Amino acid sequence: MIFKVNPAVGQPLYIQLIQQIRHAIETGLLVDGETLPAIRSLAAELVVSPNTIVKAYSELEHEGLLELRHGSGVYVSAKRRVKSRADLVRAAQLKVRKAIENLRDEGFSDEEIHRMVEAELFYASRAGRNA
């Protein structure tokens, strides 16, 4: 896994690293039990202070996404409290699939279902209910 930080962005480097690691975990690029680079080696690779890496790793450990095992390394936590983004997307897709099946069972065509979904998205966003 390759991480990159950019001092010109105006965002602290440790935050950039946190966001990249969090995204990699949420999307399944990093999986439970996988080892992350050691603090010193990642700091050398990114040309940043080891304290920057320690701060990012510590924050992610506090969130329950990483486990820091002194003398052993840094691992993606198998006990994390947060569902991965990939898991959330799969669950949402299942809900959509079931809703479509139910509407088809009620006799609606795919075109009618499509128009209903578009209308709901349109009106939800106008009403401020869209996240």
Across residues 95-100, what is the average pLDDT?
Answer: 93
Across residues 48-73, what is the average pLDDT?
Answer: 93
Residue 27: inside a domain: yes
Residue 131: inside a domain: no
Largest CA distance in the chain: 62
Same domain, 70 and 90: no
Same domain, 121 and 101: yes
Taking residue 35's Cβ as centre, other Cβ atoms within 10 Å add up to 13
Sheet containing strand 73-76, edge to edge, reads: 35-36, 73-76, 66-69
Q: What is the pTM of this model?
A: 0.61
pLDDT bucket at 70, cuts 50 / 70 / 90 = confident
Domain that includes residue 49, residue range: 7-76
